[in-house]
Structure 1
Amino acid sequence: MPNLSRYDSAADARPTEDKPADAAGLNPAETHDAVTNDAETEAAETNAAAETKGDAKTSRNAGAAREETTARKSAATEQTSATKQPAATNSAGGEHKDADGGPWYVSGAEHSAANTGSEPEQDAEDAAIQDAEAQRRSLERERAAAAKPVLGRVVQVMIAVFFPVMLLAAAIRAVATPMFLWTEYHRPGFPADSFGFSTEDRMTYGSYAVDYLLNFASPRYLGDLVTPDGDPLYLASEVSHMADVKMVLGIAFLSALGMALLSIAGGIYLARRCPGGIRRALFAGAVATLALIAGLLVAAVLAWEQFFTQVHSIFFSQGNWTFRLDDTLIRLFPSQFWMDSGGTVAALVLLASIIVLVFTWPTKRRRERSRLANEAARRRYLESLESV
């Protein structure tokens, strides 16, 4: 039998290989090498014993020993891998990471540091959004302040359209006065009454007719008048026509008064919201009035009789405006009176239109003043929007 004592002695000569690596004070790499060497030594001893004995039973034991050696190598490898994962502490002193560098625990300090790094980017995005919103609001305010209000344009057109009507009504009202009547009866060249009315008779009876047109009396105001002989001064047809004239003039004067009130309200609005709007509206109205009066004057001068007939046909379609030459209305208000009245009305309208044109003509100075006023109004409007 072979002497195996030397193998036993060699096995006893290994004092500390089987001790744990931590107890022996070795690092993980040395522990792995020691375990591997132990496994290889034991495998070599087992093979040597199997060869020495030379029997089948020993060979089977050697195979089992090799399998055990392989299992011990695997266990040693796993232990080494686990040992090679030291706890890493970051500079913040609170976060531990595994071998792959992934955090399995995040301390409050590093979490705060991570959030601190992302906060500047978030703040920059928020600031950009706020700047974009502020710019959008500023542009909207500028656009709203620069836009001309539609109501302002409507008011300007309204005043321009109303201006000729108001001016014409005012001129007619100026003519329908006892003063104009006295001027007509006493001016040189005015035709006398061929049926016996003196100038004083005309002034007395004509003043009744003018007063009736302007007061609130009933038609009896004229129907009850009589001559010194006791005869009615006005026929029933004359009284009816004067009632129609009174109604037309009343509607015209009331309409002009309503237009004047609307124009005053519109002027107040234009003065506050559209500086220079009143001037532009009056200028346009004066131009329209001049064009209208020019057309009427041309028609009246070229064919007065036809013009007079057409005007009466429009307002008195019932045809009760035609009278005999000896009727009171014709004796008091002959054709020359109506021609003079029409010329006076046209002259008053032209004079007023020219005065308005002079004071509203768009000179450079007035346009500049309107521009400055518009800028001031726009600044006030922007300030009011910002305060809201």
Structure 2
Amino acid sequence: MIKSLRIILILAIPFFLLLGSVRLITSNQYLAFEYWKSDFPPDPFGFTASQRLTIASANLRFVRDNLTLDALSSQVFDGDPVYNSRELSHMVDVQRVYQSVWRGWQAIVLLILLTSFLLLRFSDRITLLSSFQTGGLLTSGLIFMLGLLAVVAWQVWFTSFHQIFFQPGSWLFEYTDTLIRLFPEKFWFDSALTLLSISFLEGLLLAFIGWRWRLSINLK
């Protein structure tokens, strides 16, 4: 039983850290950070950085706060709808995926709390901290491999991600479409590396805390 609990906890930690980090980059603060980078490409069709930020912030709120589609379909810029029907359909899919990920993260939190409680109840703190250490190292190892793949084969990484979560072709748009103007490929590459970097560092930090705390207990 103890071994099974440890395995469950160790395997849950990478998902906990990675999915939790998604929440950090779906924020207005991250959007502003990305848009105001000196090397971020300007919109070739006329959005200023401020206009981009305003429209993209509303887009993120729709996804993050599980708003109705009217939050996007009612948006107008220069007298025209901001999004076409294909873009709106895709954003509904994005919202669905994001909300599923968020609910999954919440379930993982409960799973980690339960397994941690059971390990403390039927084993000891050393076993629990060892599991945290191993889970942190596993996270950093997996994230390193994902990051390496993203750097050396970005198009494969990017395409594979969309093929997993979305219907074929539903995520492809014209360069004149608003979604591409708000979120060019540079945005996704930077966001992927930011997300993976945060998760990688979180894994190392968790492993260090587990190791250091376990060491302090052994020295007593």
Same fold (TM over 0.5): yes
Q: How large is the Cα RMSD of the aligned pairs?
A: 1.7
How big is the shift at 1:363? 8.6
> Which is worse superposed, 283-292 or 165-174?
283-292
- Measured at CA, do residues 365 and 225 of structure 1 come closer, stay the same or move farther in structure 2, by a change above 3 Å? closer
Matched with 1:232 is 81
The percent identity for this pair of structures is 31
The offset of 1:361, in angstroms, is: 2.2
TM-score, normalised relative to structure 2: 0.94
Find the partner of 1:200 among 22, 47, 50.
50
Deviation at 1:154, TM superposition (A): 1.8
* Between 270-279 and 234-243, the greater mean CA deviation after superposition: 270-279
Distance 1:252 1:177 in 2: 16
Give unpaired runs (5+ residues) of structure 2.
none
Alpha-carbon offset, residue 271 of structure 1: 2.0
Three-state SS of the structure 1 residue aligned to 2:81 is coil
Higher relative contact order (CA 8 A, sep 6+): 2
Match of 1:253 in 2: 102
Is the Cα contact below 8 Å between 1:164 and 1:288 reproduced in 2? yes
Summarize the Cα distance change of 1:220–1:364 in structure 2 as closer, same or farther, 3 Å threshold.
Answer: closer
Amino acid at match of 1:236: S
Partner amino acid, structure 2, of 1:304? W
Equivalents in 1 of 2:5, 2:137: separation in Å? 17
Structure showing greater Rg: 1
**Alpha-carbon contact 2:13-2:139 (below 8 Å) kept:** yes
Q: Displacement of 1:215 after TM fit?
A: 1.3
Distance 2:11 2:94 in 1: 24
Contact 2:132–2:206 (Cα < 8 Å) also in 1: yes
Alignment of 1:294 with 2:116, yes or no, is no
Question: What is the SS of the residue equivalent to 1:317?
Answer: coil
Give 1:366 shift: 4.8
Contact preservation (8 Å) 1:175, 1:345: yes
Describe the superposition over 1:244-274 as per-residue Cα deviations: whole angstroms up to 9, x where unpaired. 1111111111111111012112212222321
Quote how far apart the aligned CAs of 1:280 are. Answer: 1.6
What are the ranges of 5 or more consecutive residues in structure 1 without an aligned counterpart? 1-149, 373-388
Identify if the C-alpha distance between structure 1 residues 362 and 198 changes in structure 2 by more than 3 Å, giving closer, same or farther. closer
Write the distance in 1 (CA, Å) between the matches of 2:79 and 2:212.
Answer: 63
Q: CA contact under 8 A between 2:139 and 2:203: conserved in structure 1?
A: yes
Q: 2:90 aligns with which of 227, 235, 241?
A: 241
| Alpha-carbon shift at residue 237 of structure 1 (Å) | 0.6
SS at the partner of 1:189? coil
Q: What letter corresponds to residue 116 of structure 2 in structure 1?
A: G
Q: Is contact 1:219–1:240 with CA below 8 Å preserved after alignment? A: no
Counterpart mapping for 1:245-284 below 5 A: 245-275=94-124, 276-284=126-134
The 3-state SS of whatever aligns with 1:361 is helix
Quote how far apart the aligned CAs of 1:290 are.
1.5
Q: Which runs of 4+ in 1 moved over 2 A?
A: 361-369
Partners of 1:180 and 1:365 in 2: CA distance: 37
The number of residue pairs the alignment matches comes to 219
